[in-house]
Amino acid sequence: MTVILTEKAEFRLRAFLRGSATEETNNATKGIRILVKDGGCNGYEYGIEITSKPQPDDVVSQQGNVLVYVDTKSAPLLEGVVIDFVEGVMDSGFKFSNPNVTDTCGCGKSFKAGDCSPKGVPCS
């Protein structure tokens, strides 16, 4: 499973991880969960959350100094995705370049992949 973080995205995610540190946090497993969930006008939406509790079936990779967790349901929809962080006057945030996408919403916040139903079922 390949998720690629650009240098800017990795830098920004490292800052989020440092900012969320607490005494109870297990820093050895603290990382970013990247997921695909049902939603938006095209069926799927991306999600990013901080976690220190990986699930047993997570696909785990290391991007620079950031641990990346992806659940097995989202993994096929995220294969080959490149995540960047852009800053602009009108729009700033994480941008996903996903080779699996066949259609996107006009707002760019949701996507469709192949003939998948909007239930998070990976394309075959």
The three state secondary structure string of 77-92 is: HHCCEEEEEECCCCCC
* Predicted pLDDT of residue 10: 96
Distance CA 42, CA 21 (A): 35
When mean pLDDT is compared across 27-31, 49-53, 84-88, 108-112, the lowest value belongs to: 108-112
14 backbone dihedrals φ, ψ, rounded to 5°? -60, -40
Is the pTM higher than 0.75? The answer reads yes
Q: What is the mean pLDDT of residues 18-42?
A: 79
Amino acid at 14: R
Phi-psi region of 12 (alpha: psi -120 to 50; beta: other; left: phi over 0): alpha
Q: What is the mean pLDDT of residues 53-70?
A: 92
pLDDT tens digits, 43-54: 788 899 999 888
Q: What mean pLDDT value characterizes the chain?
A: 82
Confidence grade of residue 106 (pLDDT, cut at 50, 70, 90): low
Amino acid at 64: G
Query: Residue 91: how many CB atoms within 10 A of its CB?
Result: 9
